[in-house]
Every structure is written in structure tokens, then in C-alpha cells.
Amino acid sequence: MENKKFSPTQIIIIIGLIGLAFYLGFRSPGKKAEEELKPSETVQNNQTQVPEVRIEDVKSAFNESQIKFGDDSKKVIFLEISDPSCPYCSIASGYNNALNSQSGERFKLVEDGGTYVAPVREMKKLVESGEAAFAMIYRNGHGNGEVAMKALYCANEQGKFLEMFKEIYSDFAERDSGNNDTDGLIARYINNIGLDEAKFNKCMQDARYDKIINKDIIDGLNYGVEGTPTFFINGYKYAGVMQEEDWDNIFKSIK
């Protein structure tokens, strides 16, 4: 049989085909587009990142907080770093329907015909059911948030943190400014929720929460908090106004 000779062009084509066959046969399979989050990962803007704070640090911050509900033995621990004068904190709270609606369709609350599920209200449900614990600390950055945070501390002394929280997060962020009557706003909140005004005013004038507020700010910086709201949920960190898909991703691994 006569040996067939190949031209240089044919040889190049054959080599190319062989290489392609090897590539198709032995290449590694691609990763899934979306993988389940691992417990050690953090959720931030729908992406996973290495956590900056361990669960032990979250528990420590929880136990040191002046405002907390439940204890660190709960399966889920929520830590909210917030500023009462931050509009996005109000959006995440779900207690300012008008602001949520004005901020775009993605933040319009379900009760108003939208799809937004406010994370703070969902956290409250889990705390009330006994499934979770919640704590809150302050992070400065907007208007007179420190005054409002002090009001939350003082209301908490009379067992009315949540009532004051609802009042403040319903409209304080929009009304607060350097030229506004912040004291008048706080006075209205006192009247609305029926606080002992004398005790509350004494608490506000006292400096006992000044050091605590300063500690809150330092703790937030130590935990890598750059803005508000920021949430720590067990081993996860989420910075920003949480969407329903973010909430779902976090709880895939927690539950």
C-alpha cells in the first residue's frame, strides 16, 4: 500500500483537530452560576465575601448592647448598626410607608401594593416568636441621629423602645436637619407613646449614655461598618437596604 503524504497545511489542520478533541474531552466542568452560601461567608450587595466579624464578636456586641431582646443562646442573632436620621435605615425599618413609596418601586411595601419586605419588621417577628435575638447599636453619619439614639435609650429605660423606634423611624430622617426643631420632634414622640416626661427629660439631660454612644461608634468602626444600615446575622454581614432575595440567601444557610 502506498504511503500517503500530507501537505504542511493538512498537518496543521490535523494537529488543530487533535488539540480541540483533547480540550473538549478533558476540560473541567464549570461552576454553577449560583451556589449555596457557606456559613462562613458574608452577604453584601448580593455577593459573598469573607466575613470581617466572627459570630463570637457578634455575640459579644449583642451582650454589651444596651438595647437587646432575647439572649445569645438563640439560633439567630440580629445586630443592627443604625442611625435614626438615616433615610435608608427608615426604609429598612418599614415604618415609613411614604418614604418607602417615594424611594422607588423596589422599596414600596407589600401593604401598599409593592413587593418590598422590610427586614427590621421580619426580624421583629422572629424575635417575638422566640426564634431570634436582636440588638441595636448606633453609627453616626447623618443629621442629629445621636439625639434620636439617646431618645431610644431613654425610652428603653421605660420599656418603650419599640414604640419610640416606630415614632422616630416613621419620619425623623426627613424632618431632621441642623435648622429643624429636633427637640420638638422628640417631645411629640414622648406624648404619642405616653412616656413619663419628667423621667425621660432627666435621662436626656444626663450624660450617662454619651459614653455608650461613643462606644457604639467605635465598635461599628472596629467591625468594618462603613455606612448605615448594616446588619449582622449570625456569621453574615449585610451592608445596605436588604432586599427579599438577600434575606432568602442568608436564611438558606441559617435555617
pLDDT at 91 (0 to 100)? 95
Question: Is residue 204 domain-resident?
Answer: yes
Mean pLDDT in residue range 220-229: 88
**Would you say residue 150 has pLDDT above 90?**
yes
**Would you say residue 202 has pLDDT above 90?**
yes
Three-state secondary-structure class, residue 119 = helix
- For residue 189, give its domain range: 42-254
Question: Is residue 200 domain-resident?
Answer: yes
Mean pLDDT in residue range 162-189: 85
- Rounded to 10 degrees, what is the CA torsion of 40, 45, 47, 50? -40
How far apart CA 90 and CA 253 sit, in angstroms, is 27
Question: Is residue 52 domain-resident?
Answer: yes
Question: Is residue 201 domain-resident?
Answer: yes
How far apart CA 230 and CA 242 sit, in angstroms, is 9
Which burial class, exposed, middle or buried, applies to 108 when counting CB atoms under 10 A from its CB (0-12, 13-18, 19+)? middle
Question: Is residue 80 domain-resident?
Answer: yes
Q: How confident is the model at residue 163 (pLDDT cuts 50, 70, 90)?
A: very high
92-106 residue pLDDT tens: 999 999 999 999 999
Which CATH number is 199's domain given? 3.40.30.10
Q: In the chain, how many domains are there?
A: 1
